[in-house]
Amino acid sequence: MERFLFPKLVYRVTEGPLSDKRMPTAMIYTMNVTEEFCQENYDFTLDSLETVIGNMFTKPYS
């Protein structure tokens, strides 16, 4: 994931995005847990990750 996100990071406030085109994204979660357990324990983490990816590319389908 870091190799995917790192080139798109912009460290200076004055710079714009690296490209004008927004890339469609999707998130596929594969875990050995029930959906209820995932919602109770991973929702915040996964939502945060989706927000970061959405800010750099587009809001991912999940």
**Residue whose pair of structure tokens reads 């809001």 in the numeric block:** 59
CB 36 within 8 Å of CB 29: no
pTM for the complete prediction?
A: 0.66
Q: List all residues 6 or more positions away from 58 whose beta carbon is below 8 Å from its beta carbon.
A: 22, 23, 24, 25
Confidence at residue 61, expressed as pLDDT on a 0 to 100 scale? 76
User: pLDDT (tens digit, 0 to 9) for every residue of the chain, 62 residues total?
Assistant: 777 777 777 666 655 555 667 788 888 888 899 989 988 999 899 998 888 888 777 778 76
DSSP state of 57: S
DSSP state of 61: B
Cα(62)–Cα(55) distance, integer angstroms: 15
